[in-house]
A and B are shown apart, each in its own frame.
Chain A
Amino acid sequence: MPQVFPPSANTLSRVVLFGLAAGPAAVLGTMMLLVRSPLQTQVGVVREQPVQFSHEHHVTGLGIDCRFCHASVETSAAAGMPPTHTCMTCHSQIWSGSPMLEPVRASLKEQKPIQWNRVHDLPDFVYFNHGVHVQKGVGCVECHGRVDKMPLAWREKPLTMQWCLDCHRNPEPHLRPKEAVFAMDWTPPEGSGLEAAETKPMNHVEVGQLTNCSICHR
């Protein structure tokens, strides 16, 4: 009776055995990487907007405070997108003929809000509250990055639940004095006594309850 398999089958069988182990591991590993990659998290991905609004120009160039446009950030759950009227406080006079600002003028003329594309869009089963974070001393930079250096807006952090929980479990490294919340370039002053461990009692943060489901998933 002839041999069923040629000697090359030895190599083939080793390759198959390796594939049986490595194949599923590779598939699972790829999936784990993909959900953490910008493809899923959109970190660093610039989103197209109807108007090419530059935070860099308005914050670094003109020195406008965050709260001038995002007016409700200290008191309400949503930071608020500025209405067309906010743009028009200046742009009715400045660059009033600029083609780049045509959608803004059209919005005012037609009384239709500008359709901005949300960069930070959480699912609706997550109740994020801006006000409480600002009041407890979480700076804008902690979550949104150096917005003053973004010509166009992108997402700086992945907004995954793990990222939220990392901070809710150990908030100290991310807290600052309340007066520094809107400062873009703030760092803890050397030897000022404002070490990380002290920011928590300073801002009355109670860590024990911060990871309950009902904090976010109401």
Chain B
Amino acid sequence: MAENHHEAGGDSKTPVLAPGHDYASVTRTISDIVLERAPDWRWALGMGAGSSLLMIFGIAVAYLIYMGTGIWGINAPVMWGWAIINFVWWVGIGHAGTLISAILLLLKQQWRTSINRFAEAMTLFAVACAGVFPLLHMGRPWKFFWMMPYPSTMALLPQWRSPLVWDVFAVSTYATVSALFWYVGLLPDLATLRDRAKNKYIAMIYGALALGWRGSARHWARYKSAYILLAALATPLVVSVHSVVSLDFTAGVIPGWHATIFPPYFVAGAIFSGFAMVVTLCVPLRSWYGLKDFITDRHLDNMAKVMLATGMVVGYGYVTELFMAWYSGNPYEQFLLLNARPFGTYSNAWRFMFFCNVIVPQLLWVPSIRRNTAILWVISIFVNIGMWLERYVIVVTSLSQDFLPGAWADYSPTKWDVMTYLGTLGLFTFCLFLFVRTLPAIAVAEMRELVHETHIEHAPHAASGAHGETA
């Protein structure tokens, strides 16, 4: 309980909610971003950049479907290139959202409250970006539904032993559960927007989306149990989804892929990169939209600590891989991990990955760096790049030089690989800016709950006085 008191911000540490807020001010600050505030140049810039890149995505996909996957840089040994690298990268980014919204909810961490909505949205958009790659890197994407079990006239079912089939189920379940969790969380806030909207048609849109939420005690009781159940479902899901993604590699026999440490190490990497992305997006968002009272330095500090912890697990993964290569006595594994990766064609990628993911996050041990927004933001960018390189190193180096030297070939991406990747960045940005404009980026109802709890902490007797709900 002492720890909880600690979290609510009653002591010398930066609180999770700046003092002086009541229900009305919290509601006003968040819902005004959607209802009142006119889109400014920053929003126009972000939306413009997002939609421009989205158009590039359209061109890249149209040409890909017209010409085939040969427009990419993939070749005979390296059949998986940027498409799979980006898939794993995007799925990984999505994981922090679920971690924040589900796992931190189960752990009753109050500091999740002001970042969960936004992190869940990030999850959804990242999964949307990830989801396009398994479709696009199929040679015949129009046959994608053959990965689904359905009563076909061919009397065929998918091969249940392939991790790529598990991917279909993992990613589609993950997308569905994340969307449901996000939407259930949105219901009370949509009702708030409905009640605060001055325009009749806008009130009707939010009213239809709020599904007649009235905020009665029964609503809330059921909402709370549904929410906690979804969180309890999403927690094993998030761990298994990225484990399944890691099995795409580790179920293979390729040196550098066939490592049993991959499932936990991929999950740690996913949380690592996901938190880095949350920080990357949180820092500009909170200053542009004046949300520093809600997303305080305390949040950034905590997120930096999670990044540090998961970054250490990732570093442990790297070292274990190297040790096991040496310890295995397997010449192919030793060649790949002790020779090809650190000194071969792609040694720059490997070294920079090590620098970004293992060296740079060590700065986060220092409290003053964690609390320096600018430096933390730069570190988070490094981590994003480093985690992309990690997937690049795993996919490309392992494939380009494996068992038979006669089948070795180097890999380099083409402009179409780059355009597709930039395109998904555009899709992500587009969705994100659309979300910021149309939905509350911070969970209003949960913030009001936080206000309530903070008031109780400060003045237990005054708690009943602060009960008036402002819609």
- Please give the residue numbers on chain A whose beta carbons come within 8 Å of chain B beta carbons, in ascending order: 1, 4-5, 13, 32, 35-36, 158, 160-163, 165-166
Within 8 A of A (CB), among B205-245: 207-208, 211-212
Task: Chain B residues near A36: list those with CB within 8 A.
Answer: 153
Contact B155 A161 (CB under 8 A): yes
Query: Shortest distance in angstroms between B175's beta carbon and chain A's nearest beta carbon?
Result: 16
Q: Quick one: closest B residue to A36, CB to CB?
A: B153
A165/B155 contact (C-beta < 8 A), A4-B203, A4-B204 known: yes
Query: Shortest distance in angstroms between B159's beta carbon and chain A's nearest beta carbon?
Result: 12
Contact A158 B153 (CB under 8 A): yes
Query: Shortest distance in angstroms between B200's beta carbon and chain A's nearest beta carbon?
Result: 7
Query: Shortest distance in angstroms between A174's beta carbon and chain B's nearest beta carbon?
Result: 16
Q: Quick one: closest A residue to B203, CB to CB?
A: A4
Q: How many residues of B contact A (CB 8 A)?
A: 16
Query: Shortest distance in angstroms between B239's beta carbon and chain A's nearest beta carbon?
Result: 30
Contact B151 A161 (CB under 8 A): no
Q: With the chains together, A5 CA to B208 CA distance in Å?
A: 9
Task: Chain A residues near B208: list those with CB within 8 A.
Answer: 13
Q: A161-B154, A162-B154 are in contact. List 15 more A-B contacts (CB 8 A).
A: A1-B195, A4-B194, A4-B200, A4-B203, A5-B207, A13-B208, A32-B151, A35-B153, A158-B153, A160-B153, A160-B154, A161-B153, A161-B155, A162-B153, A166-B155
Q: Quick one: closest B residue to A166, CB to CB?
A: B155
Q: Is B12 an interface residue (CB 8 A)?
A: no
Task: Chain A residues near B150: list those with CB within 8 A.
Answer: 32
Q: Quick one: closest A residue to B155, CB to CB?
A: A162
Q: With the chains together, A165 CA to B155 CA distance in Å?
A: 8
Task: Chain B residues near A160: list those with CB within 8 A.
Answer: 153-154
Within 8 A of A (CB), among B132-163: 150-156
Q: Quick one: closest A residue to B212, CB to CB?
A: A13
Q: With the chains together, A166 CA to B200 CA distance in Å?
A: 60
Query: Shortest distance in angstroms between B139's beta carbon and chain A's nearest beta carbon?
Result: 15
Q: With the chains together, A35 CA to B204 CA distance in Å?
A: 41
Q: Quick one: closest B residue to A2, CB to CB?
A: B200
Query: Shortest distance in angstroms between A125's beta carbon and chain B's nearest beta carbon?
Result: 12
> Could you write out 12 A-B pairs with CB less than 8 Å apart?
A1-B195, A4-B200, A13-B211, A35-B153, A36-B153, A160-B153, A161-B155, A162-B154, A162-B155, A163-B153, A165-B155, A166-B155
Partner of A4, one of B151, B152, B207: B207
Query: Shortest distance in angstroms between B35's beta carbon and chain A's nearest beta carbon?
Result: 15
- Chain A interface, DSSP helix/strand/loop, else mixed: helix
Q: With the chains together, A158 CA to B211 CA distance in Å?
A: 47
- Chain B interface, DSSP helix/strand/loop, else mixed: loop
Q: With the chains together, A5 CA to B195 CA distance in Å?
A: 12
Q: With the chains together, A139 CA to B296 CA distance in Å?
A: 80
Query: Shortest distance in angstroms between A8's beta carbon and chain B's nearest beta carbon?
Result: 13
Query: Shortest distance in angstroms between A213's beta carbon and chain B's nearest beta carbon?
Result: 10
Q: With the chains together, A201 CA to B153 CA distance in Å?
A: 29
Q: With the chains together, A10 CA to B187 CA distance in Å?
A: 18
Q: With the chains together, A165 CA to B151 CA distance in Å?
A: 14
Q: Quick one: closest B residue to A16, CB to CB?
A: B208
Task: Chain B residues near A5: list those with CB within 8 A.
Answer: 204, 207
Closest 7 CB pairs of A and B: A162-B155, A160-B153, A161-B154, A4-B207, A165-B155, A4-B203, A162-B153
Chain B CB within 10 Å — which of A5, A158, A166 has the most? A5
Q: Quick one: closest A residue to B151, CB to CB?
A: A32
Query: Shortest distance in angstroms between A25's beta carbon and chain B's nearest beta carbon?
Result: 13
Q: Quick one: closest B residue to A211, CB to CB?
A: B155
Q: Quick one: closest A residue to B154, CB to CB?
A: A161
Q: With the chains together, A52 CA to B64 CA distance in Å?
A: 47
Task: Chain A residues near B203: list those with CB within 8 A.
Answer: 4
Q: With the chains together, A4 CA to B150 CA distance in Å?
A: 43
Q: With the chains together, A160 CA to B195 CA distance in Å?
A: 57
Q: Quick one: closest A residue to B205, CB to CB?
A: A4
Query: Shortest distance in angstroms between A56's beta carbon and chain B's nearest beta carbon?
Result: 30
Task: Chain B residues near A166: list those with CB within 8 A.
Answer: 155
Q: With the chains together, A62 CA to B192 CA distance in Å?
A: 85
A161/B156 contact (C-beta < 8 A), A4-B194, A4-B207, A5-B207 known: yes
Query: Shortest distance in angstroms between A128's beta carbon and chain B's nearest beta carbon?
Result: 15
Chain A CB within 10 Å — which of B154, B155, B200, B207 has the most? B155
Q: With the chains together, A32 CA to B261 CA distance in Å?
A: 43
Query: Shortest distance in angstroms between A182's beta carbon and chain B's nearest beta carbon?
Result: 29
> Interface 1/0s, chain B 191-202, versus A by CB < 8 A?
000110000100
Q: Quick one: closest A residue to B194, CB to CB?
A: A4
Q: With the chains together, A73 CA to B200 CA distance in Å?
A: 75
Task: Chain A residues near B156: list those with CB within 8 A.
Answer: 161
Q: With the chains together, A4 CA to B207 CA distance in Å?
A: 7
Task: Chain B residues near A162: list those with CB within 8 A.
Answer: 152-155
Task: Chain B residues near A158: list those with CB within 8 A.
Answer: 153
Q: With the chains together, A5 CA to B151 CA distance in Å?
A: 42
Task: Chain B residues near A35: list those with CB within 8 A.
Answer: 153
Q: With the chains together, A32 CA to B204 CA distance in Å?
A: 37
Q: Quick one: closest A residue to B206, CB to CB?
A: A4
Task: Chain A residues near B194: list those with CB within 8 A.
Answer: 4
Q: With the chains together, A162 CA to B152 CA distance in Å?
A: 8
Query: Shortest distance in angstroms between B161's beta carbon and chain A's nearest beta carbon?
Result: 16
Query: Shortest distance in angstroms between B364's beta carbon and chain A's nearest beta carbon?
Result: 46
Q: With the chains together, A166 CA to B212 CA distance in Å?
A: 52
Q: With the chains together, A13 CA to B207 CA distance in Å?
A: 11
Q: With the chains together, A35 CA to B194 CA distance in Å?
A: 45
Q: With the chains together, A13 CA to B151 CA distance in Å?
A: 32
Q: With the chains together, A139 CA to B194 CA distance in Å?
A: 71
Query: Shortest distance in angstroms between A137's beta carbon and chain B's nearest beta carbon?
Result: 23
Query: Shortest distance in angstroms between A158's beta carbon and chain B's nearest beta carbon?
Result: 7
Query: Shortest distance in angstroms between A130's beta carbon and chain B's nearest beta carbon?
Result: 22
Q: Quick one: closest A residue to B200, CB to CB?
A: A4
Q: Quick one: closest B residue to A28, CB to CB?
A: B150
Task: Chain B residues near A161: list those with CB within 8 A.
Answer: 153-156
Q: With the chains together, A10 CA to B466 CA distance in Å?
A: 35
Q: Quick one: closest B residue to A163, CB to CB?
A: B153
Within 8 A of A (CB), among B150-196: 150-156, 194-195
